[in-house]
Structure 1
Amino acid sequence: MPDRNLQPLLHDLISTVRAPASVLCEPSGQIRAVGVQGMFHADVRVLSRAELLLDGRSVEPVANSPLGPGVTAFVGLARWLGDPGPDPTVRVTRERRLVPTGLDETITVTSTAASVVATELSLALDADLAPISPVKAGRAVDGSGVVRSGLTWSAGAVTVVATAPGAEVDDDGTVRWSLTVAPRTSVTVSWQLRVSDPAALVREPAVAVEWSRPTVTADDRRLSRLAARSLDDLESLRLRLSAGDGDTFLGAGVPWYLTLFGRDSLWAARMLLPLGTDIAEGTLRVLAAHQGTAVDKDTGQAPGKILHELRRADAQAHLPAAYFGSVDSTLLWISLLHDAWRWGMSPAAVESLVPALEAALGWLADYGDADGDGFLEYIDESGRGLANQGWKDSGDSIRFRDGSQATAPIALVEVQGYAYEAALHGAALLDAFGRPGGPRWREYAEQMATRFRDTFWVDGPGGAHPALALDGDKRPVDALTSNIGHLLGTGLLTAKESAQVADLLASSALAGGFGLRTMSTHDAAFSPLSYHCGSVWAHDTAIVVDRLARAGHPAAAATLASGLLAAAESFDYQLPELFGGDDRTELGRPVPYPAACRPQAWAAAAGVTLLHAAVGLRPDVPAGTVALAPLPGAPLGAVTARGLRIGDASIDVVVGADGSATVTGLPDTLKLALPRHH
């Protein structure tokens, strides 16, 4: 049987990120010419090898640690050097720091030996300047188009230059230092890499971090640790487009998705609203600037539609550079604008985006429902785009209970909830800014609720539940999945229906792993390491936790939050994109999904969402009110968050172990209101 090209595994690699650059390496710090290892900058691998040797030997790795956004340290031992005996006396520390145009690394050799240590330190460097697409596909990259001269590599518009002060440079790109280390001293050398890429689509933001960094204390210390690591990762994922107004957004994830993604960037910004509205405003503006204006089957574009993904032209083989194959990005854009308005985004900034809102609602009215049945569906008409265009966008993700795959066009369950929510959110914004159409969209939402109730509900092993989707023949796709959790808190469900959905989400079939499984264990397609049919996604779990809390189901929310916090602890508080959906009792820790991105924007934002669900701060700045609705009974224990933001105000929330809560810092324009559960 011929070998297949396999996507490189990521789970055991260490990432250092400062967007648009990222480095993936072995736990030792070595960057070897294998798999996805290397440094990527704006979707080009600008360093494919950085292999460190002492006396021609690799040091033995013992530790690595993040030192903040864009900085990682690696510690190894050179046990053949120094004093004899069991205790190592020569250690090597590599501190890798990403900078806006490249990488700086220091290498420190420290000796506690009784006599002088002499050694040769060598570093083999190479750059294949490969686009990210063939690397992701597992195809061989030979670097044949690269021109090298000394420590300079170039191909097309990209040039990479390495420098190594004080080192000798071999013809093959290896640099060497001869070191003499006196007893109980250290010697440090350094090298640098700089990248010139005038064609890069994305750049590092030119402004400071857009959100606050709250001080979090909690009885469950996992929550505060997760929040801290999450905020470091989110800071490292900030991007702006090279062309445009410089608006900041969050790149979706490392290594494959470090660019503008409609759905991912929107969800991440929405999840960060408790820390401020600036990243939401930047995300809304940059996506509005690329909003669809024409019908184009090849790109999936339609007037008013929000794009799915923006890449440099040579970054991927099968999708257009500007690709619109997402059925939900437009709806999520509308709801982010609404929620940012509620959280205190300036009325002038909101009003400037109302024309884009009207265009987005126009897409919902004229293009989202191609067959006129009242539900939003998708189908890839180009033949080379994504077969599935919701957040579960793998080709095999939409399955019936018996495991058979649904055929397009497909109407996803959560998308109908997003449409209902977007219609009401759009109506509120149109009314507030004196634009016509509010009554039309409220009527649309009312009719959607009736249609949905009559069409989507099916019977399952655990009782009635909304189907995953309708297939091309309008048959309910009857698998029980996490998608139904996204309906909670939208208003689409009645209180009784919400309670039934909450019970199912907290059942062992969906919640028996470390968070919320994407598909229940009762379904034939369930597999714990299926990308979308049994795995656990951090963002999916956190969003559903928050929606359960908002809908008044604290026990179910606490069950899922507990699983996700246990997973966070296992992953050193850097939640990956997804992980295995194995039962919590089997191994005691989650099984990594070996190709998961980490860090990833909405996975990192999950830490903020868990914090928000715990404290329950829900403002409506235009109405002049703030609701404080922490999880009843404080199932996550006492939590204090100081430095949350509503508009320009810094807000502190203290939740006691008994569930009591206080808020301080509210401006005079805001009054505390009783919480409302849908």
Structure 2
Amino acid sequence: MLDGATSPSPAVTVIEPPAPAPAHRLQPLLHDLVSAVMAPTTALSGGDGQIRPAGVQGLFHADSRALSQVRLEIDGREPEAVGYAPHGAGGARFVALARWLGDPSPDPTVRIHRVRQVVPGGMSERIEIVSTASRPVTATITLALSCDFAPIEVVKSGGETTPAAVAGGGPGELTWGSGGIRVTVAGVDAHAEPAEAGRAGRLCWPVTLAPRGRTTLRWDVAVRDPEAVVIAPARPAEWVTERGGPRITATDRRLTRLFEQSLDDLRSLRLAETGAPADAFLGAGVPWFLTLFGRDSIWAARMLLPLGTELAMGTLRVLARRQGTRLDPGSGEAPGKIMHELRRHEFALEGDNLRLPAAYYGTVDATPLWISLLHDAWRWGAPEAEVAALLPHLEAALGWLAEHADPDGDGFVEYVDTSGRGLANQGWKDSGDAVRFHDGRQAEPPIALVEVQGYAYQAARQAADLLEAFGRPGAGRWREHSAALAERFRARFWVDGPRGRFPALALDRDKRPVDALTSNIGHLLGTGLLTGAEEAEVAALLVSPAMAGGFGLRTMSAEEGGFSPLSYHCGSIWAHDTAIVVAGLARAGFGAQAAELAGGLLTAGETFGYRLPELFGGDDRETLGHPVSYPAACRPQAWSAAAAVTIVHAALGLYPDVPAGRVLLRPLAGAPLGALSARGLRIAGAEVSAAVDADGMVSVAGLPAWILPETAAGRP
């Protein structure tokens, strides 16, 4: 190298940081929010009672957010939350502290109790300020209030919203309006401050408390929404009586507490269709699905038949009025088909191809389940005139099964979304990835689900019983139909796995068995599609560690390639799914297995404050010792709340056949859930009490004189 020469600089490679991934919106989380609901209105807040302008917090009415912010401040500061608890149906109580007020001591001397009560079309709050201080307390109480009228589908998809301007108001009053919706907030003795740039509207109260004094402030909100498609029913639930409604006493106090909370939640989820307030049904769940859902509303009503038939008949009539009459690929409608979902307008999630019309029929199972609900309500003693009035709709539903449920003619009920904008999967596991092979591959439609064949088989047999009992033609045809379906099913669905034989989850487009072990096969129990030996094979697999190693029944075995404990349908645990299988096991005589799964739900109920969510994680029990929340699960949710009634019913084992004048008594053998007594059950409209003692002996009282109790071996 020459003197004075410089070596060339080494080449420098500049590594650019990777481009950020395209932003996508996330569905807001629910698991840590407190809900108070009286359908069609719901309040969702933090555990401190504050409703903040974020995520899914807000006061919702019939799929629209009425208030997006309700924030309490004392002298410009938020109080410090210390606890909350449910406060009856539609209510919640929150407790907080204002430690900067009162005596200068380590102990707080000023407490705030916020008692919230949601009613159909509104909400009220009492703000109780209690001082134990030795000196007077002076403060200004402020409520910051905003309204954005966001549709529920925008909130669900994490979309952006803009606060609406205050449209007017009077003394102590603020009003917002959008289209036909009007929201009015009024505070008793409050001073109202309309919203200004960058600030919410406000209600303000100056407060002075004497030493050890207290005061109560009151405010309420009313929502006027003439365009809503659902309203509150005209009458209270039939199980709400002067005697207080159904009550149970159980050795296991968890069951008692779960039952009581579930009844409160079921009362609060009752809805009616606008224009038909006499026919009640259950909205599916808070907040995403608080409307009419064919499958969900049917299953919930079916699970609640031990409390009476009125809800079942209302649900049947509402769905019958919207039964399909034409072929429409866009909505999935077909003659005789029962609908899936009802909204005020098209339901379209931002960033998703899903676009469901306001009345959507994309469900393969609601129609046979509608038939089974009509049959079961008849057996429980629904008025014969009401049952007879629905028989033309039964025949139309059978027409759908015969002409439209099997588009390729292979003899199985199947589905495919031909619109490209509807639900890709149309059974109860309706997420896009729900139907998977053992190795994790997704099945391609058309898909024939295993449980739907069971539903169709049972519906055909039950429809035959109804047609025959009411002197209408066709019973023989449908008994032959069910027998042929059973033969085809036995030839095509059963597969072998490492733990033995079991029915496949489905048949795919190429008629291959989708060989994953899932909870779906538990829905076959009690349908009659399986022989006794086949039921025993299924029962053994359902309580294997891979299926029952969590707190209930996993939707998919932990040994499957697609398993994930926090997948919506591929490894999580759904309370209603577990309860349906508990009922099937109980009826088939597998009491120990039924009790094992029920015990998992009772532990989960304790974890979730006895308000079972829509679903929760399917992790092993040893992972945390309690179930993991699924963060976007609805809570309360109709068929999850109904699970408590199903557990009680399975333990007691009352199986009425009112037209035949008898009720079979078949409790879980040996009372594996402990002693249990229930009052306020209903058979043929009569209030009935039933009990199982610690030895498993059952007794029943209050039956009409013409209905005789029988045990499996004959009359007691």
Distance 1:2 1:180 in 2: 53
Indicate the residue corresponding to 1:153 in structure 2: 176
Offset of 1:147 from its aligned partner?
5.7
The letter of the residue matching 1:164 is G
User: Aligned to 2:326, which of 289, 294, 299?
Assistant: 294
Q: Residue 211 of structure 1: CA displacement?
A: 2.8
State the alpha-carbon separation in 2 of the partners of residues 598 and 286 from structure 1: 24
Contact 2:183 2:221 in 1 (8 A): yes
Asked if residue 122 in structure 1 is aligned to residue 159 in structure 2, the reply is no
User: 1:203 aligned to 231, 238, 242, which one?
Assistant: 231
Corresponding position: 1:181 with 2:197: no
- The residue aligned with 1:506 is 543
Structure 1: segments with no counterpart, 5+ residues: none
Distance 1:208 1:416 in 2: 36
Equivalent in the alignment of 2:57? 37
Residues 150-549 of structure 1 aligned to structure 2 (within 5 Å): 150=169, 151-172=174-195, 173-211=201-239, 213-244=245-276, 246-313=278-345, 316=348, 318-549=355-586
Does the 8 Å CA contact 1:211/1:279 hold for their aligned counterparts? Answer: no
Over 3 Å counting, the alpha-carbon distance change for 1:676 and 1:400 in structure 2 is farther
* Superposition map of 1:49-64 within 5 A: 49-64=69-84
Return the offset for 1:453: 0.6
What is the deviation of 1:192? 1.2
Q: Which amino acid aligns with 1:180?
A: T
Output one character per residue of 1:65-112: Cα deviation in whole Å (capped at 9) or x when no partner: 111111111110111111122211100011111123311111111000
1:378, 1:409 within 8 Å by CA — same for their partners in 2?
yes
CA distance in 2, matches of 1:604, 1:676: 33
Aligned-residue sequence identity (percent) comes to 62
Q: Distance in 2 between matches of 1:304 and 1:391?
A: 20
Distance in 1 separating the partners of 2:498 and 2:29: 36
Aligned to 1:99: 119
2:687 match: 650
Q: After superposition, what is the alpha-carbon deviation per residue over 1:488-531, rounded to whole angstroms, capped at 9, x for unaligned?
A: 01111111100010000010000000000000001011000000
Structure 2 counterpart of 1:637, which letter? G
Q: Is the 8 A contact 2:288 2:634 kept in 1?
A: yes
Structure 2: give runs of 5+ residues left out of the alignment: 1-20, 196-200, 350-354
Q: Matched residues in 2 for 1:20 and 1:390: separation?
A: 26
Is it true that 1:577 corresponds to 2:614 in the alignment? yes
Check conservation: 2:346, 2:357, Cα contact below 8 A.
Answer: no
Q: 1:676: Cα distance to partner?
A: 8.2
| Matched residue, 2:651 | 614
Q: Tell me the residue number matched to 1:70.
A: 90
In the TM superposition, what is the alpha-carbon distance from 1:14 to its structure 2 partner?
Answer: 0.1
Alpha-carbon separation, structure 1, partners of 2:182 and 2:109: 40
Q: In the aligned structure 2, how far is the partner of 1:573 from the partner of 1:280?
A: 25
Larger radius of gyration: 2
One-letter code of the match for 1:528? P
Shift of 1:185: 1.8
Give me the whole-angstrom Cα distance separating, in 2, the residues matched to 1:277 and 1:386. 31
| Residue-by-residue CA offset, 1:35-86 (whole Å, 9 max, x unaligned) | 0000000111000000001111111111111111111111101111111222
Distance 2:456 2:681 in 1: 29
Measured in 1, the distance between the counterparts of 2:163 and 2:420 equals 31
Per the TM alignment, residue 314 of structure 1 is displaced from its structure 2 partner at its CA by: 5.1
Post-superposition shift, 1:663?
0.9
For 1:373 and 1:101, the matched residues in 2 are separated by: 49
2:610 & 2:672 partners in 1: Cα distance? Answer: 20
Aligned residue identity for 2:687:
S
> Which string of whole-angstrom CA distances, capped at 9 and with x for unpartnered residues, describes residues 171-211 of structure 1?
32111111111122211111111111111111111112123
Q: Distance in 1 between matches of 2:570 and 2:319?
A: 30
AA at the equivalent of 1:165: V
CA deviation string 1:410-466 (max 9, x = no partner): 000000000000000100000001000001111111111111111000111211100
Q: TM-score, normalised by structure 2?
A: 0.93
Are the aligned partners of 1:92 and 1:108 in contact in 2 as well (CA < 8 Å)?
yes
Which letter maps to 1:188? T
Q: 1:149: how far off?
A: 2.9
Aligned 8 A contact 2:346 2:356 in 1: no
Q: Secondary structure at the match of 2:101?
A: coil
1:183 and 1:71 map into 2 onto residues whose CA distance is: 30
**Equivalent position of 1:47 in the other structure:** 67
- Say which SS state the counterpart of residue 177 (structure 1) adopts: strand
Residue pair 1:517, 1:534 contacting (<8 A) in 2 also: yes
Offset, 1:165 = 2.1
Instruction: Give, as a single letter, the amino acid of the residue that structure 2 aligns with 1:592.
Output: S
* Contact 2:65–2:152 under 8 Å retained in 1: yes
The alignment of Structure 1 onto Structure 2 pairs a total of residues equal to 676
Q: How big is each residue's C-alpha offset from its partner over 1:215-236, in whole Å with a ceiling of 9 and x where there is no partner?
A: 2001111111111000000000
What does the per-residue CA deviation read over 1:98-151, in whole Å, with 9 as the maximum and x for residues that have no partner?
Answer: 12331111111100011111111111001101111110000111146x563351
